[in-house]
Chain A
Amino acid sequence: MEHTNDSKKEAPVTYAEVNDTILKMLEPPGRGWFLLLFTCLFFLAIGASSWFYQIWSGFGESGKSHPIGWGTYITNFVFWVGIAHSGTLISAVLYLFRAAFRQPIYRLAEAMTVFAVMTAGLFPIIHLGRPWYALWLMPYPNQRALWPNFRSPLLWDVFAVSTYFTISATFFFVGLIPDIAAARDRATTKFRKALYGVTSLGWRNSHAQWKHYTAAYLIFAAFATPLVVSVHSVVSWDFAMSIVPGWHATIFPPYFVAGAIFSGVAMVVTLIIPLRKAFSLERLITPFHFDAMSKLILMTSGVVTYSYITEFYIAWFSNNDFERFQFWFRPFGEFWMAFWGMTFCNCIFPQLLWIKKLRTNIPFLFVLSIFINIGMWLERFNIIFQSLTREFIPAAWGGYNFSWIEVGITVGAFGWFGMWMTLFIKFFPSVAIVEIKEILPPPVRNEGHGHHQIAGNAGHH
């Protein structure tokens, strides 16, 4: 709470100020925004055309081969699911833990979550040999009387990712409703009035609405928290449930969850720094918030590093030749660059955050967050690709044929994600209005009484 008081000097102090500052972001877009949007659309077009070409010509246009059945697409899938994690973490877990730094960043993190899941969800379909039969993974009644195999980790993925998307989108939307109502009430153009009028669902800020809303919000947070843990655990079981040396590991669920938080927070930093600059949100998003996020990055980096070390230790300790070979191969084999790149980005570089000054050094944090994103992508690539290249039968060891189609689709994913983000920041409040207002002292005539009340009530209840 002291921090809150410290940063108060810069932070807006009245409800009106908060409202104005945030809704200012929704003002008609400038040239820069359109440039960004068209860049995203361009990337998306590259991705879409790459995918169509891949379907038209054959799945061989991607770089997979025998024995590497999974490659960039599943790497992208895990990467985006990982990104998606921090949003719900920040909005739900930190909400339950009453972390003081979450309010200005959580909306953006949540948006990132929803759009990242939307991106991630594409990849299991893109990576199918016959994507037009993707529906067969759903348990729907059909004349063939056939159901999917509930024992398959891929089906668990279907459940986990679809649930995660539904719940995080719902959570996100529910959080948005009062803010949209606020935007509706300040909207000037016809289009915006209509847009917000419809999307705010007729929200009126009445006392009964608030009562049920806050109760439900807490429950959402309670649902979302185990969901965060479960989704990436399930994703990690795609690997851990197999027998591939390098995949078959019990440490995977916590390791993946920690990695997901790590990459997600980094992605939040990557997104929020330019946003803060572009919309002059310095008063809302302060060094205090960056310091907190840096600490979170530092901690998860530690967990991830620990997981890496454990993997090696277990490979040695298990006395399993195949595991040992795999974990010798990763740092010293043909694809050592991917391993050491990952180690640098995820384990070594973030250690600089022990230096207090760097934790609030915005340019440094931006660069670091990019590196972490790359490092986490490499981590998934290492796990997926390196393990598959060296399995049990040396005669069937192989390599990868990296193709431009994969690059195109990967770029397209960023375009897709960026497109939604870009649209979102211009059309909906990307900083939570109500929650920021909540941490402010309410305007009261009787100061003493009011202030006492606020001190114990950063959140609800």
Chain B
Amino acid sequence: MVTKIRLAIVGVSALALALAAVAVQQATAPAPANAQDSAAQYPLLGVRAGVYNDGQAALWDLNITDHFRYFGPPARLRGYSPEQPIHFSHVIHVQQNKMECQYCHWSVSKASYAAIPEEETCMGCHGALVQGKSERGKKDIQYLKDMYAKNQPIPWQKVHVMPDYLKFNHKRHVKAGVTCQECHGQIPEMEQVERVSSMKMGWCISCHRQRGASIDCLVCHGHR
């Protein structure tokens, strides 16, 4: 009995001392000159070992409020793929017809927003030339033409819905060489666009840390 207790005491003490050693080492290590440098120091204890790469909460993540909030509205979740007013197929446009992303989403490199193209852009091809092969395609193109004639915008469903307090700048990411696929997934293979990344904070941060981008809060939470 007593030996067991002694063993336990020795074990716990050893663990505590190890922790203490890490703490002392960390405390005495020079503080990073700026936040960017801290990426190298990370992770210390693998505290995020249980967080999946895409930042979706691990089971042991006790963030109850997040669970409530993010497992509530599906529009905030990975896998959200709303039905669009037009069955726009990126497979046909991008994969088969080899269109560049920025042909339609031209503002990604110019502005914080990655705009949905104007109907005028669609009409460039679909106005006179391409009228669709399938029944559904024909119907959709007719719908586009009708809306264009009525001077009305097409009510696209937003796939990547972000909260208001997050100000994401597409331009800076595109100019920094982040490809569209890194966040949006293999869009060219999608018949209907789906949110493939959780796009939660941990997901953003892990990439920022990896690339040595700023992790100053205001970079994302101050402004666009």
Q: Is the interface of B mostly helix, strand, loop or mixed?
A: loop
Q: List 23 A-B contacts (CB under 8 A).
A: A132-B65, A133-B65, A135-B63, A135-B65, A140-B63, A141-B47, A141-B48, A141-B60, A141-B61, A142-B57, A143-B48, A143-B55, A143-B58, A143-B61, A143-B63, A143-B66, A143-B201, A143-B203, A144-B205, A145-B201, A145-B205, A145-B206, A146-B201
Set B64, B65, B202: member contacting A145, Cβ < 8 A: B202
Q: Say yes or no for B132: interface residue by CB 8 A criterion.
A: no
Q: Is the interface of A mostly helix, strand, loop or mixed?
A: loop
- Evaluate contact between A140 and B62: CB separation under 8 angstroms: yes
Q: How large is the interface on A (under 10, 10 to 19, 20 to 34, 35 or more residues)?
A: 10 to 19
- Evaluate contact between B56 and A143: CB separation under 8 angstroms: yes
Q: How far is the CB of A138 from chain B (nearest CB, A)?
A: 8
- Evaluate contact between B65 and A143: CB separation under 8 angstroms: no
Contacts of A132 in B (CB 8 A): 65
Query: In the docked arrangement, what's the CA distance between A135 and B64, Å?
Result: 8
Closest partner residue, chain A, to B57 (CB atom) = A143
Query: In the docked arrangement, what's the CA distance between A354 and B203, Å?
Result: 68
B1-58, CB < 8 A from A: 47-48, 50-51, 55-58
Q: How far is the CB of A338 from chain B (nearest CB, A)?
A: 38
Q: How far is the CB of A133 from chain B (nearest CB, A)?
A: 6
Q: Say yes or no for B139: interface residue by CB 8 A criterion.
A: no
Query: In the docked arrangement, what's the CA distance between A145 and B44, Å?
Result: 12
Closest partner residue, chain B, to A136 (CB atom) = B65
Query: In the docked arrangement, what's the CA distance between A140 and B201, Å?
Result: 16
- Evaluate contact between A143 and B64: CB separation under 8 angstroms: no
- Evaluate contact between B60 and A144: CB separation under 8 angstroms: no
- Evaluate contact between A142 and B64: CB separation under 8 angstroms: no
Closest partner residue, chain A, to B50 (CB atom) = A141
Query: In the docked arrangement, what's the CA distance between A133 and B56, Å?
Result: 19
Contacts of A142 in B (CB 8 A): 57, 61-63, 66, 202
Contacts of A145 in B (CB 8 A): 47-48, 201-202, 205-206
Contacts of B56 in A (CB 8 A): 143
- Evaluate contact between B62 and A141: CB separation under 8 angstroms: yes
Residues of A within 8 A of B (CB): 132-133, 135, 140-146
Query: In the docked arrangement, what's the CA distance between A146 and B51, Å?
Result: 13
Closest partner residue, chain B, to A146 (CB atom) = B201
Q: How far is the CB of A412 from chain B (nearest CB, A)?
A: 24
Query: In the docked arrangement, what's the CA distance between A143 and B55, Å?
Result: 6
Contacts of B126 in A (CB 8 A): none
Q: Say yes or no for B200: interface residue by CB 8 A criterion.
A: yes
Query: In the docked arrangement, what's the CA distance between A135 and B205, Å?
Result: 21
Query: In the docked arrangement, what's the CA distance between A336 and B20, Å?
Result: 52
Contacts of B203 in A (CB 8 A): 143
- Evaluate contact between A144 and B65: CB separation under 8 angstroms: no
Contacts of B63 in A (CB 8 A): 135, 140, 142-144
Contacts of B61 in A (CB 8 A): 141-143
Closest partner residue, chain A, to B63 (CB atom) = A142
- Scan B63-76; emit 1 where CB is below 8 A from any A CB, else 0: 11110000000000
Q: How far is the CB of B59 from chain A (nearest CB, A)?
A: 11
Contacts of B62 in A (CB 8 A): 135, 140-142
B165-222, CB < 8 A from A: 200-203, 205-206
Query: In the docked arrangement, what's the CA distance between A132 and B48, Å?
Result: 24
Contacts of B200 in A (CB 8 A): 143-144
Query: In the docked arrangement, what's the CA distance between A146 and B200, Å?
Result: 13
Query: In the docked arrangement, what's the CA distance between A135 and B69, Å?
Result: 14
Contacts of B51 in A (CB 8 A): 143
Closest partner residue, chain B, to A132 (CB atom) = B65
| Inter-chain pairs besides A141-B50, A143-B202, 5 sampled, C-beta below 8 Å | A135-B63, A142-B57, A143-B57, A144-B200, A145-B48
Query: In the docked arrangement, what's the CA distance between A132 and B67, Å?
Result: 13
Closest partner residue, chain A, to B43 (CB atom) = A145
Contacts of B47 in A (CB 8 A): 141, 145
User: What are the nearest 4 A-B pairs in CB distance?
Assistant: A143-B202, A144-B201, A142-B63, A140-B62
Contacts of B60 in A (CB 8 A): 141
Contacts of A143 in B (CB 8 A): 48, 51, 55-58, 61, 63, 66, 200-203
Q: How far is the CB of A148 from chain B (nearest CB, A)?
A: 13
Set B50, B58, B202: member contacting A144, Cβ < 8 A: B202
Contacts of B58 in A (CB 8 A): 143
Query: In the docked arrangement, what's the CA distance between A101 and B64, Å?
Result: 47
Q: How far is the CB of A376 from chain B (nearest CB, A)?
A: 35
Contacts of A135 in B (CB 8 A): 62-65
Q: How far is the CB of B95 from chain A (nearest CB, A)?
A: 33
Contacts of A141 in B (CB 8 A): 47-48, 50, 60-62
Q: How far is the CB of B64 from chain A (nearest CB, A)?
A: 6
Q: Which of A132, A135, A144, A146 has the most CB of B within 10 A?
A: A144
Q: How far is the CB of A140 from chain B (nearest CB, A)?
A: 5
Query: In the docked arrangement, what's the CA distance between A132 and B63, Å?
Result: 11
Query: In the docked arrangement, what's the CA distance between A144 and B57, Å?
Result: 9
Contacts of B50 in A (CB 8 A): 141
